[in-house]
């Protein structure tokens, strides 16, 4: 009677001579019961982390496909089993999906917050993804992954971090044996969450004798064309550098290439006959370095030979991104400029969440280029420390003097 007709029930109560308080209580009960008929039950939402999956009508060895779902698609949870979840799509397609093929709302929110925190971060370089790869919420093969980037996708590089290839807990040898710990399964797309680096907020720059013996690997924090942010292995992307410049890498890894200016050459193959000149930064093909690059090279275009030539080279140093390119006006007109950072002192700061290592304090080194001549400018004209890697032998005295002269 209560849920069938609240109005007729009130009239019935009046005819029975109900008192005002009792009548009010009965009205509240009547309307609350009526409203429950229109209340929609709230369900948990999960998101497809696999490339693509099929929903099945039942959990059995033999089942029928109900619908296809793809990476990033939201699903409403209707029921949870031991290893499967019964879900409903926005098209009201209902079926079962494996639990490991989805992430919950908490993990989804973590990726959303990551994108929000880094949506305005400066771009240090652009790169192309070699093949299909997932974005992770933290650097590490065993961290949560979600968004799947297709091969040849363009991404913006934001920051670099180095982490052990094998988590510390798994790779630490026991006190009775020097045998290595168990290795993780191949691939970077597992569901387990890697422990965050418990590094202090500041530490001393390591000496060659203090460098860890564990195998390290580099990860890039990237942003894709849709604004999604996440971490991916540095070895799975190629920094965008013109082939004409990349051929001069000499076995080093191109970290970034930035256009300083453009020069006109009537014999150039470009559509407007204007050829860009670049400042590039390079690093050894080695992971886990406490700096972003150890070499700066400027490539200018030779109008006589119609090819790129090295106009300036600074090596070895320990430099940090970003590299900033600009221009300034002096007595000779508008000239291109560039700058980068080096550490001011031995202390390094480590981000506790991601493991990104940066100098506790930095110096900004500035240069300008006039025609094919590059010279140092700006308020900081102090010496640039020379930083050789472990096992790297300094060049001969003649080369060493040349490097020191350029660094001043």
- Per the CB < 8 A criterion, the answer to whether 273 and 266 are in contact is yes
**Quick one: tokens of 276?**
């860009």
Closest of 122, 198, 173, 157 to residue 354, by C-alpha: 198
SS3 330: strand
Q: Are the C-beta atoms of residues 134 and 145 closer than 8 Å to each other?
A: yes
* pLDDT tens column, 98-114: 999 999 999 999 999 99
Under 8 Å between Cβ of 282 and 253: yes
Q: pLDDT at position 214, please?
A: 82
Q: Provide the 8-state DSSP code for 332.
A: T
Residue 125 backbone dihedrals phi, psi, to 5 degrees:
-170, 165
The answer to whether the beta carbons of residues 235 and 286 sit under 8 Å apart is no
pLDDT at 338: 97
Structure tokens at 342: 């080096």
- pLDDT: which is higher, 403 or 377: 377
- 135's tokens: 């974005």
Other CB atoms within 10 Å distance of the CB of residue 286: 12
Q: In angstroms, rounded to a whole number, what is the distance separating the alpha carbons of residues 153 and 130?
A: 8
Q: Which of 138, 213, 140, 209 is nearest to 172 (CA)?
A: 213
How large is the average pLDDT for residues 127-141? Answer: 95
CB 111 within 8 A of CB 146: yes
| pLDDT tens digits, one per residue of 179-212 | 443 344 444 444 444 444 444 455 555 554 555 5
Please give the mean pLDDT across all residues of the chain. 81
Q: Is the pLDDT of residue 127 over 90?
A: yes
State how far the Cα of 386 lies from the Cα of 368, in Å rounded to an integer: 21
For range 165-190, the mean pLDDT: 48
Quickly state the pLDDT bin for 402 (edges 50, 70, 90): very low
DSSP 358-379: EESSEEEEEEEEETTEEEEESS
Query: Band of the pLDDT at 2, cuts 50, 70, 90?
Result: very low
pLDDT tens profile 345-358: 888 888 877 878 88
pLDDT of residue 107: 94
Average pLDDT over residues 244-262: 91
Q: What secondary structure letter does DSSP report for 72?
A: T
Helix (H, G, I), strand (E, B) or coil at 147: strand
Q: Which residues contact 406 (CB under 8 A, 6 or more apart)?
A: 312, 313, 314
**Residue 46 above 90 pLDDT?**
yes
**What average pLDDT score do residues 218-231 get?**
95
**Which of 58-72, 302-316, 376-390 is predicted least confidently?**
376-390
Q: What is the pLDDT of residue 191?
A: 43
**pLDDT score recorded for residue 14:** 52
Where is pLDDT greater, at 197 or 31?
Answer: 31
CA separation for the pair 315, 407 (Å, rounded)? 9
* Span 148-157, pLDDT tens digits: 999 999 999 9
pLDDT number for residue 124: 93
Average pLDDT over residues 263-276: 88
């Amino acid at each position: 009677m209560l849920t069938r007709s609240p109005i007729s029930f009130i009239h019935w109560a009046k005819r029975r001579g109900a008192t005002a308080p009792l009548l009010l209580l009965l009205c509240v009960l009547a309307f609350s019961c009526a409203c429950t008929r229109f209340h929609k039950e709230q369900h948990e939402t999960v998101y497809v982390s696999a490339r693509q999956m099929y929903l099945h009508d039942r959990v059995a060895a033999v089942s029928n496909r109900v619908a296809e779902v793809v990476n990033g698609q939201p699903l409403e949870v209707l029921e949870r089993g031991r290893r499967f979840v019964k879900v409903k799509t926005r098209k009201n397609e209902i079926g079962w999906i494996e639990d490991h093929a989805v992430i919950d709302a908490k993990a989804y929110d973590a990726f959303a917050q990551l994108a929000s925190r880094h949506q305005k971060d400066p771009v240090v370089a652009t790169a192309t993804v070699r093949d299909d790869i997932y974005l992770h919420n933290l650097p590490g093969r065993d961290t949560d992954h979600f968004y799947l980037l297709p091969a040849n996708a363009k991404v913006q590089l934001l920051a670099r971090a180095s982490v052990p290839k094998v988590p510390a807990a798994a790779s630490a040898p026991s006190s009775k044996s020097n045998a290595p710990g168990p290795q993780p399964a191949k691939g970077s797309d597992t569901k387990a969450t890697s422990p965050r680096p418990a590094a202090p907020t500041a530490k001393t720059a390591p000496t060659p004798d203090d460098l860890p013996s564990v195998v390290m690997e580099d990860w890039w924090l990237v942003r894709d064309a849709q604004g999604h942010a996440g971490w991916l292995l540095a070895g799975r992307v190629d920094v965008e550098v013109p082939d004409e410049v990349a051929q001069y890498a000499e076995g080093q890894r191109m970290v970034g290439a930035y256009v300083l200016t453009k020069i006109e050459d009537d014999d150039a193959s470009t559509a407007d006959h204007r050829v860009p000149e670049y400042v590039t930064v390079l690093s050894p093909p080695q992971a886990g370095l406490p700096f972003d690059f150890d070499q700066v090279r400027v490539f200018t275009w030779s109008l006589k030979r119609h090819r790129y030539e090295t106009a300036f080279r600074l090596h070895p140093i320990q430099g940090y991104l970003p590299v900033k390119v600009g221009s300034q006006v002096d007595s000779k007109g508008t000239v291109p400029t560039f700058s980068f950072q080096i550490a001011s002192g031995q202390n390094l700061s480590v981000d506790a969440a991601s493991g990104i290592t940066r100098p506790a304090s930095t110096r900004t080194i500035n240069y300008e280029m006039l025609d094919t001549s590059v010279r140092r400018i700006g308020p900081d004209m102090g010496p640039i420390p020379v930083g050789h890697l472990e096992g790297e032998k300094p060049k001969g005295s003649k080369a060493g003097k040349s490097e020191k002269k350029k660094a001043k």
